[in-house]
Amino acid sequence: MALRIENEAKLDSEPCVVAWDGKLFVGTGDGSVKTFDANLSPGVSWSAHSVQLFAIAAQHGKVYTSSNDAGIRVWSADGVKEAELPNAGSDVGVLRVFDKELYVGDEGGNVMIFENNEEKARYNVLEEVKDLWFSAPFLFTVRDLDVTVTEIKPDESKTLFVNHHTMEGRAPLHMAGTRLLVTARGGNNLRLHDAAAHTGFKQLHEVKVSDMILTSLSVSGDYVWTGGWDGILRRWKIDVDVLEPAGEISLGSCINGVVSTLDNTYAVMAGGKVVRIKAA
Protein backbone atom coordinates (compact mmCIF):
# COMPACT_ATOMS: atom_id res chain seq x y z
CA MET A 1 0.00 0.00 0.00
CA ALA A 2 1.36 3.42 -0.96
CA LEU A 3 2.18 6.05 1.63
CA ARG A 4 1.75 9.76 1.02
CA ILE A 5 2.56 13.06 2.74
CA GLU A 6 -0.64 14.77 3.87
CA ASN A 7 0.82 17.84 5.58
CA GLU A 8 4.15 19.23 6.62
CA ALA A 9 5.46 21.93 8.92
CA LYS A 10 8.79 23.74 8.99
CA LEU A 11 10.62 24.54 12.22
CA ASP A 12 13.35 27.09 12.88
CA SER A 13 15.24 24.58 15.04
CA GLU A 14 16.17 20.95 14.50
CA PRO A 15 13.42 18.56 15.67
CA CYS A 16 15.05 15.86 17.79
CA VAL A 17 12.34 13.88 19.61
CA VAL A 18 8.59 13.48 19.26
CA ALA A 19 5.60 12.25 21.27
CA TRP A 20 1.81 12.09 20.91
CA ASP A 21 -0.97 12.58 23.46
CA GLY A 22 -4.01 13.98 21.70
CA LYS A 23 -1.66 16.33 19.87
CA LEU A 24 1.92 16.24 18.64
CA PHE A 25 4.79 17.33 20.88
CA VAL A 26 8.14 17.98 19.20
CA GLY A 27 11.32 18.59 21.18
CA THR A 28 13.98 20.63 19.40
CA GLY A 29 17.69 21.35 19.35
CA ASP A 30 17.26 24.71 21.07
CA GLY A 31 15.47 23.15 24.05
CA SER A 32 11.91 24.10 23.14
CA VAL A 33 8.74 22.04 22.84
CA LYS A 34 6.44 22.82 19.93
CA THR A 35 2.91 21.45 19.63
CA PHE A 36 0.71 20.70 16.63
CA ASP A 37 -2.79 19.36 16.13
CA ALA A 38 -3.46 16.23 14.09
CA ASN A 39 -3.24 18.23 10.83
CA LEU A 40 0.04 19.91 11.85
CA SER A 41 -1.51 23.28 12.59
CA PRO A 42 0.82 24.86 15.17
CA GLY A 43 -0.24 25.31 18.77
CA VAL A 44 1.54 26.50 21.88
CA SER A 45 5.30 26.26 22.27
CA TRP A 46 7.60 26.83 25.21
CA SER A 47 11.22 26.75 26.29
CA ALA A 48 11.65 23.52 28.25
CA HIS A 49 15.45 23.45 28.59
CA SER A 50 18.39 25.67 27.71
CA VAL A 51 19.88 23.07 25.37
CA GLN A 52 18.77 20.21 23.11
CA LEU A 53 16.10 17.85 24.38
CA PHE A 54 17.33 14.28 24.87
CA ALA A 55 13.92 12.69 25.41
CA ILE A 56 10.22 13.49 25.53
CA ALA A 57 7.12 11.55 26.59
CA ALA A 58 3.47 12.55 26.82
CA GLN A 59 0.47 10.82 28.33
CA HIS A 60 -2.60 11.57 30.45
CA GLY A 61 -2.26 15.31 29.78
CA LYS A 62 1.32 15.48 31.05
CA VAL A 63 4.52 16.11 29.08
CA TYR A 64 7.92 14.93 30.35
CA THR A 65 11.22 16.27 29.03
CA SER A 66 14.90 15.73 29.76
CA SER A 67 18.19 17.31 28.74
CA ASN A 68 21.64 17.67 30.27
CA ASP A 69 20.87 20.94 32.06
CA ALA A 70 18.66 19.50 34.81
CA GLY A 71 16.58 16.55 35.89
CA ILE A 72 13.27 15.58 34.34
CA ARG A 73 10.72 18.33 33.93
CA VAL A 74 6.96 17.82 34.02
CA TRP A 75 4.63 20.11 32.08
CA SER A 76 0.96 20.48 31.34
CA ALA A 77 -0.06 19.95 27.72
CA ASP A 78 -0.05 23.75 27.39
CA GLY A 79 3.46 24.23 28.70
CA VAL A 80 2.87 25.10 32.35
CA LYS A 81 5.68 23.69 34.47
CA GLU A 82 4.29 21.39 37.15
CA ALA A 83 7.33 19.69 38.67
CA GLU A 84 11.01 18.91 38.34
CA LEU A 85 11.96 15.34 39.16
CA PRO A 86 15.38 14.35 40.48
CA ASN A 87 17.75 12.26 38.43
CA ALA A 88 20.49 9.90 39.56
CA GLY A 89 23.32 12.20 38.50
CA SER A 90 23.58 11.02 34.89
CA ASP A 91 22.05 12.36 31.68
CA VAL A 92 18.58 10.97 31.00
CA GLY A 93 18.14 9.69 27.45
CA VAL A 94 14.95 7.64 27.76
CA LEU A 95 11.48 8.58 29.00
CA ARG A 96 8.54 6.17 28.74
CA VAL A 97 5.09 6.18 30.33
CA PHE A 98 3.39 2.87 31.15
CA ASP A 99 -0.08 3.19 32.63
CA LYS A 100 0.44 6.17 34.94
CA GLU A 101 4.07 5.52 35.79
CA LEU A 102 7.06 7.29 34.26
CA TYR A 103 10.09 5.13 33.50
CA VAL A 104 13.43 6.92 33.19
CA GLY A 105 16.66 5.48 31.76
CA ASP A 106 20.04 7.20 32.05
CA GLU A 107 23.71 6.93 31.06
CA GLY A 108 24.64 5.55 34.47
CA GLY A 109 22.51 2.44 34.06
CA ASN A 110 19.74 3.65 36.33
CA VAL A 111 16.08 2.95 35.68
CA MET A 112 13.89 5.15 37.88
CA ILE A 113 10.13 4.81 38.22
CA PHE A 114 7.94 7.74 39.22
CA GLU A 115 4.28 7.74 40.17
CA ASN A 116 2.46 11.05 40.74
CA ASN A 117 5.84 12.79 40.46
CA GLU A 118 7.26 10.79 43.38
CA GLU A 119 10.06 8.26 43.03
CA LYS A 120 8.63 4.77 43.46
CA ALA A 121 11.61 2.54 42.65
CA ARG A 122 15.15 2.62 41.30
CA TYR A 123 17.14 -0.17 39.68
CA ASN A 124 20.69 -0.11 38.38
CA VAL A 125 21.30 -2.38 35.38
CA LEU A 126 25.01 -1.44 35.34
CA GLU A 127 25.28 -0.10 31.77
CA GLU A 128 23.86 2.91 29.95
CA VAL A 129 20.16 2.58 29.17
CA LYS A 130 19.67 3.50 25.51
CA ASP A 131 16.03 2.40 25.38
CA LEU A 132 13.57 0.54 27.56
CA TRP A 133 10.15 -1.07 27.65
CA PHE A 134 8.04 -2.50 30.44
CA SER A 135 5.55 -5.35 30.17
CA ALA A 136 4.86 -6.65 33.67
CA PRO A 137 6.80 -8.17 35.24
CA PHE A 138 9.56 -7.76 32.65
CA LEU A 139 11.71 -4.71 32.06
CA PHE A 140 13.54 -4.72 28.72
CA THR A 141 16.61 -2.48 28.63
CA VAL A 142 19.05 -1.83 25.79
CA ARG A 143 22.73 -1.18 26.24
CA ASP A 144 25.17 -0.88 23.32
CA LEU A 145 24.63 -4.20 21.56
CA ASP A 146 22.49 -6.29 23.89
CA VAL A 147 18.99 -6.33 25.36
CA THR A 148 18.57 -7.45 28.96
CA VAL A 149 15.30 -8.86 30.28
CA THR A 150 14.85 -8.18 33.98
CA GLU A 151 12.00 -9.13 36.29
CA ILE A 152 10.98 -6.27 38.57
CA LYS A 153 8.15 -5.83 41.08
CA PRO A 154 8.13 -2.14 42.05
CA ASP A 155 5.25 -2.62 44.49
CA GLU A 156 7.30 -5.19 46.43
CA SER A 157 10.92 -4.07 46.08
CA LYS A 158 12.27 -0.64 45.25
CA THR A 159 15.77 -1.82 44.30
CA LEU A 160 15.93 -5.61 43.82
CA PHE A 161 15.52 -7.33 40.46
CA VAL A 162 16.21 -10.66 38.78
CA ASN A 163 17.96 -10.98 35.41
CA HIS A 164 16.15 -13.48 33.20
CA HIS A 165 17.65 -13.28 29.73
CA THR A 166 20.04 -11.44 27.43
CA MET A 167 19.72 -11.26 23.66
CA GLU A 168 21.56 -9.47 20.87
CA GLY A 169 20.15 -6.11 19.89
CA ARG A 170 20.37 -2.35 20.09
CA ALA A 171 18.07 0.66 20.33
CA PRO A 172 15.37 1.33 19.38
CA LEU A 173 13.06 -1.38 20.70
CA HIS A 174 9.27 -1.57 21.15
CA MET A 175 6.56 -3.95 22.28
CA ALA A 176 3.62 -4.88 20.06
CA GLY A 177 1.13 -6.98 21.97
CA THR A 178 2.82 -10.33 22.69
CA ARG A 179 5.72 -9.51 20.38
CA LEU A 180 8.97 -7.66 21.03
CA LEU A 181 10.67 -5.65 18.28
CA VAL A 182 14.43 -5.23 18.62
CA THR A 183 16.90 -3.56 16.27
CA ALA A 184 19.65 -5.99 15.25
CA ARG A 185 23.24 -5.21 16.21
CA GLY A 186 24.14 -3.92 12.74
CA GLY A 187 21.47 -1.23 12.94
CA ASN A 188 19.82 -2.09 9.60
CA ASN A 189 17.56 -5.01 10.50
CA LEU A 190 14.57 -5.44 12.79
CA ARG A 191 13.99 -8.63 14.76
CA LEU A 192 10.61 -9.92 15.90
CA HIS A 193 10.65 -11.90 19.15
CA ASP A 194 8.04 -13.71 21.18
CA ALA A 195 7.85 -11.71 24.41
CA ALA A 196 6.92 -14.71 26.58
CA ALA A 197 9.44 -16.05 29.08
CA HIS A 198 8.45 -19.69 28.54
CA THR A 199 9.64 -19.44 24.91
CA GLY A 200 12.98 -17.99 25.97
CA PHE A 201 11.98 -14.79 24.15
CA LYS A 202 12.42 -16.72 20.93
CA GLN A 203 13.36 -14.84 17.76
CA LEU A 204 10.65 -15.34 15.15
CA HIS A 205 11.73 -13.24 12.18
CA GLU A 206 14.32 -10.73 10.96
CA VAL A 207 13.96 -8.26 8.11
CA LYS A 208 16.07 -5.43 6.69
CA VAL A 209 14.32 -2.14 7.43
CA SER A 210 16.92 0.49 6.51
CA ASP A 211 19.87 0.92 4.15
CA MET A 212 21.61 2.85 6.91
CA ILE A 213 21.19 3.07 10.70
CA LEU A 214 17.67 2.75 12.11
CA THR A 215 16.86 5.62 14.48
CA SER A 216 13.10 5.46 14.95
CA LEU A 217 10.48 2.81 15.68
CA SER A 218 6.78 3.17 16.41
CA VAL A 219 3.85 0.76 16.64
CA SER A 220 0.15 1.27 16.07
CA GLY A 221 -2.12 -1.77 16.13
CA ASP A 222 -0.60 -4.46 13.90
CA TYR A 223 1.61 -1.98 12.05
CA VAL A 224 5.23 -1.07 12.69
CA TRP A 225 6.82 2.12 11.35
CA THR A 226 10.58 2.48 10.91
CA GLY A 227 12.84 5.35 9.89
CA GLY A 228 16.53 6.15 9.93
CA TRP A 229 19.52 7.79 8.36
CA ASP A 230 18.48 6.79 4.85
CA GLY A 231 15.43 9.08 5.04
CA ILE A 232 12.96 6.36 4.09
CA LEU A 233 9.88 5.81 6.23
CA ARG A 234 8.70 2.21 6.00
CA ARG A 235 5.60 0.45 7.25
CA TRP A 236 5.42 -3.23 8.21
CA LYS A 237 2.51 -5.46 9.14
CA ILE A 238 2.92 -7.97 11.94
CA ASP A 239 1.46 -11.13 10.44
CA VAL A 240 1.57 -13.50 13.43
CA ASP A 241 5.27 -14.44 13.37
CA VAL A 242 6.63 -12.37 10.48
CA LEU A 243 6.98 -8.75 9.41
CA GLU A 244 5.46 -8.08 5.98
CA PRO A 245 6.25 -4.91 3.93
CA ALA A 246 3.25 -2.56 3.87
CA GLY A 247 4.51 0.57 2.11
CA GLU A 248 7.37 3.05 2.12
CA ILE A 249 8.08 6.67 1.24
CA SER A 250 11.32 8.62 0.83
CA LEU A 251 11.31 11.77 2.95
CA GLY A 252 14.65 13.06 1.69
CA SER A 253 16.59 13.54 4.92
CA CYS A 254 17.54 11.73 8.11
CA ILE A 255 14.54 10.75 10.22
CA ASN A 256 15.11 11.71 13.86
CA GLY A 257 11.85 10.42 15.29
CA VAL A 258 8.57 8.72 14.39
CA VAL A 259 5.29 8.43 16.27
CA SER A 260 2.17 6.69 14.98
CA THR A 261 -1.49 6.70 15.98
CA LEU A 262 -4.40 4.70 14.61
CA ASP A 263 -5.09 7.51 12.11
CA ASN A 264 -1.77 9.18 11.34
CA THR A 265 1.98 8.79 11.46
CA TYR A 266 4.36 11.69 12.04
CA ALA A 267 8.07 11.93 11.30
CA VAL A 268 10.52 14.63 12.40
CA MET A 269 13.56 15.09 10.19
CA ALA A 270 16.93 16.76 9.89
CA GLY A 271 16.57 20.18 8.35
CA GLY A 272 13.67 21.26 10.55
CA LYS A 273 10.74 19.44 8.95
CA VAL A 274 7.75 17.62 10.43
CA VAL A 275 5.50 15.56 8.15
CA ARG A 276 2.19 13.77 8.52
CA ILE A 277 1.93 10.50 6.61
CA LYS A 278 -1.18 8.57 5.56
CA ALA A 279 -1.63 5.23 3.85
CA ALA A 280 -3.22 5.74 0.42
Q: Sorting pLDDT into bands at 50, 70 and 90, what band is 147?
A: very high
Name the phi and psi angles at 198, rounded to 5: -70, -15
Q: Please determine, for residue 70, whether its predicted confidence score (pLDDT) is greater than 80.
A: no
Is pLDDT above 80 for 224? yes
Domain boundaries, the chain: 3-279
Across all residues in the chain, what is the average pLDDT?
96
Does pLDDT of 48 surpass 90?
yes
> What pLDDT, on a 0 to 100 scale, did the predictor assign at position 10?
97
* Residue 69 pLDDT class (50, 70, 90 cuts): confident
CA 127 vs. chain centroid, Å, equals 19
Domain 3-279 is classified in which CATH homologous superfamily? YVTN repeat-like/Quinoprotein amine dehydrogenase (2.130.10.10)
For 14-32, how does the pLDDT look when each residue is reduced to its tens digit (9 = 90+)?
A: 999 999 999 999 999 999 9
**Quick check: 233 and 267 in contact, CB under 8 A?**
yes
Q: How many Å apart are CA 256 and CA 258, to the nearest integer?
A: 7
Q: What is the pLDDT at residue 279?
A: 86
* Distance separating alpha carbons of residues 130 and 132, to the nearest angstrom: 7
> pLDDT band for position 172 (50/70/90)?
very high
**Residue 30: is it exposed, middle or buried by C-beta count within 10 angstroms (0-12/13-18/19+)?**
middle
Beta bridge partners of 131: 142
For the chain, what's the residue count?
Answer: 280
Give the CB-side neighbour count of residue 26, counting CA atoms within 13 A.
36
CB 82 within 8 A of CB 74: yes
Confidence bin at 193 (pLDDT 50/70/90): very high
Work out whether the CA dihedral 111, 219, 203, 172 comes out positive or negative.
Answer: negative
Q: What is the largest CA-CA distance in the chain?
A: 50
Average pLDDT over residues 221-231: 97
From 122, 22, 105, 15, select the one nearest 62 (Cα to Cα). Answer: 22
Say what the pLDDT of residue 191 is.
99
Ranges of H-type helices in the chain:
none
Name the pTM for this structure: 0.96
Confidence of residue 71 (pLDDT cuts 50, 70, 90): confident
pLDDT score at 42: 98
- Render pLDDT for 197-214 as a digit per residue (tens, 0 to 9): 999 999 999 999 999 999
